[in-house]
Amino acid sequence: MVYKVIQWATGGVGRAAIEYICAHLELELVGCWVSSEAKQGRDAGELAGIGPIGITATTDAEALIAMAADCVMYSPVMADRELVCRLLASGKNVVTPLGWFYPGNRDVADLEAACREGDSTLHGTGIHPGGITERFPLMVSALSAAVTHVRAEEFSDIRTYGAPEVISDIMLFGKTPEEAASSPMVGFLGDGFGQSMDMIADELGFAVDPDPLSLHEVAVATAPIDSPIGVIEPGRVAAQRFTWQRTVAGEPVITVRVNWFMGEEHLDAGWCFGPEGERFEVEVTGDPGAQVTFHGWHPESIAAGLVRNPGIVATANHGVSAIPYVCRAAPGIKTYLDLPLIAGRAAPHLAAEHN
């Protein structure tokens, strides 16, 4: 069976998703929503950089809601919860990197009602959160007994992230430490990571304390640093570290951390990627313990990353890979704990259907 898919938004994740949907033998792209008039009427394949595919991008959300489709790959910059409910109620499954990884005790009555109305499924997925933070730690934890701590951590050069407005105005790089202290990222990211940590805590059986911990640290440039948002002058924020933790009787048992730097030069002592460079790490402390390091999701250079960032592509691929499984799932919000093993697909020229 081939599932009909609508791609919602064509930022970095959206463009990569279009590319994979078109290569996936079980999927067919049938619609594409864009946020700007500049993209209205353009071919979705051209927007994705793969050439014309005969699907015209549109700003008309109502037309796409009314369209017959099996799933929406929903990846705008920010989620519109009411719109997600409408998509689900219209009978379309929704896969998204924007949340709902693990609702836990959060109020999702409106989303569940929309799933019942449309006989549809909602699945949150991604990379961090959405993979490194919970899916892979849980998988690795099965090899350990008496688990005492789980850590998921990212080390990334933020200069390869092709969204200068987000870097400057939301992440607050290039600002003073006092300005950066008001960063909305602690709360914005904390919600997604909080869901991931709740999944780990519930599945492993940690009796976590009611109040989670969070920490935001910054380092300033010690000399001018060239960056996508212009030169970062000495004394301005050039590196940030965000940490979220769940504790049991005050003792950390789950730690999630992101380390985002404008390179490694001209930063305070101790602010570096370390000898392994950019990476993602998953560590489970138990009997025995395990540490897994993921390479390959960071670009080879800043220039390459601004063209095609492997981490963003991996985020899109994780969502697109889930689409057939989500389309076959029972209605409701489904997490990794509810779905079978999600796998990628062979390159089309190596697939059984072509041999």
Same-domain pairing of 139 and 94: no
Q: Would you tell me how many other CB atoms lie within 10 Å of the CB of residue 121?
A: 24
- 153: pLDDT strictly greater than 60: yes
Residue 305 lies in a domain: no
Q: Is residue 162 part of a domain?
A: yes
d(CA 199, CA 129): 11
Q: Do 118 and 85 share a domain, yes or no?
A: yes
Print the domain residue range for 202: 135-296
The number of domains in the chain is 2
Q: Are residues 148 and 228 in the same domain?
A: yes
What is the distance, to the nearest Å, from the Cα of residue 42 to the centroid of all Cα atoms in its chain?
A: 26
- In the predicted structure, residue 330 carries a pLDDT above the cut 60: yes
| Strand blocks (E) in 75-197 | 93-96, 121-124, 145-157
Among residues 248, 270, 296, which one ends one of the domains? 296
Taking a C-beta distance cutoff of 8 angstroms, is the pair 129, 195 a contact?
yes
Tell me, yes or no, whether 303 lies in a domain: no
Is 290 found in the same domain as 161? yes
Query: Looking at the domain assignment, is residue 283 inside a domain?
Result: yes
Pull the structure tokens for residue 220: 């300033």
CA–CA dist 2, 168 (Å, integer): 42
The residue behind tokens 């390869």 is 160
Which CATH number belongs to the domain containing residue 56 in this structure?
Answer: 3.40.50.720
Mean pLDDT on 197-222: 96
Query: Is residue 214 predicted with pLDDT exceeding 80?
Result: yes
Q: In angstroms, how far is CA 331 from the centroid of its own chain?
A: 23
Q: Which residue has the tokens 């999630």?
A: 256
pLDDT in tens, 101-118: 999 999 999 999 999 999
3-state secondary structure of 154: strand
Is 24 found in the same domain as 170? no
* 69, part of any domain: yes
Same domain, 118 and 237: no
CA distance 205 to 183: 32
Q: Are residues 111 and 227 in the same domain?
A: no
Residue 328 lies in a domain: yes
Instruction: Say if residue 129 is preceded by a cis peptide, omega within 30 of 0.
Output: yes
Q: Please, which residues bridge with residue 4 across strands? A: 28
First to last CA, the chain: 18
**Is 354's pLDDT higher than 80?**
no
Task: Tell me how far apart the alpha carbons of residues 293 and 76 are, in angstroms, rounded to a whole number.
Answer: 29
84 and 58 inside one domain: yes
